[in-house]
Amino acid sequence: MQKKHLVLAILVTLVWGLNFPITKLGLRSIDPFVLTAIRFALAALPLVFFIKRPAISFSYVVAYGCIFGLGMWGVINYGIQVGVSPGIASLIIQLSVFFTMGWGALLFKERLRGAQLLGAVLAMIGLVGIISTQPGDHALFGVLLIVFSAVAWSIGNVIIKKSAVKEIFSFMVWASLFPPIPLFLLAWLMHGSAPFENLQSSLDLTAVLSILFQVYLATHFAYWGWNSLLKRYPVSTVAPLSLLIPVFGIGSSMLILGEHISTPNMISIVVIIAGLAVGLYRKTPAPSAALSPTGRRAAEPAGAKK
């Protein structure tokens, strides 16, 4: 990988890692579903008026928008609010790698390698370790919500694969149109008018900066950068770099929020990262490789375009 592209990959993973504690800052004053709805509304508007709709069935766009916005990020933000730490959340969401591999084997008859199965077992052991050390029912519920969001992300990856979309940025912008209304409705169903009554006063400088970071860096820049790398390099080269996301997520949570990681949790974190590393590592790309975390198949033999 060229140095400039490696720098881009590091910047993307840094942004995604920072997104977790920065989102936590926004959640201090705004309901998680309202915050997520605002994020995706701004991610879509006004760009949908200037960017051509992706040339795929619109049902894929709607489905992905709902899964990604509501099932993934709405649930992640809710999980963080009810007790799971942003650093732990940035790690658990990476389990989508293994859920995606499972969908690939089940739906597309892709063969799983022994290393992938071993990595999945290690990651599950680490996850059980984290669940067993969570203090209180709320924190445990939060972890389970993040696991659910990882499953949702893996379903989103399947949608991207089935759609065969090429205009990723356009796809993200148009898909962002659909989460806001269900998210606003869910906030109202759960808490009535309370999340909306003081919304204007809740949008202090910290909340506004948190939202802008989520929209323009974590959504627009990061997804453009990551998918640009996937178009240029084999997935087997790019995907392992996603291991930097929880590293940056945990580190930045400690710096920004003063988050403390207990020794048992740290051991579980190391086990999960080891499982991810084992599951993602491969010496050479193969045509039948499992789905990547972004839903793309590993590169074809040398010279083939993904």
pLDDT digits (tens, 9 = 90+) for 145-186: 999 999 998 898 888 888 888 888 899 999 999 999 999 999
**Is position 302 within any domain?**
no
Instruction: Note down the domain range covering 142.
Output: 3-280
**Is position 298 within any domain?**
no
**Is position 13 within any domain?**
yes
Cβ-defined contacts of 48-51 (< 8 Å, 24+): 48/173, 48/174, 48/177, 51/169, 51/170, 51/173, 51/174
Token pair of 274 as six digits: 């080891």
- The pLDDT assigned to 107 comes to 79
Q: What is the pLDDT of residues 46-89, one digit of tens each?
A: 999 999 999 999 999 999 999 999 999 999 999 999 888 898 89
**Is position 80 within any domain?**
yes
- Does residue 56 contact residue 162 with C-beta atoms inside 8 Å? no
Number of domains forming the structure of the chain? 1
Stated pTM of the model: 0.81
Q: What is the pLDDT of residues 11-21, one digit of tens each?
A: 999 999 999 99
- Does residue 42 contact residue 211 with C-beta atoms inside 8 Å? yes
**Is position 293 within any domain?**
no
Measure the CA–CA gap between 276 and 71, rounded to whole angstroms: 23
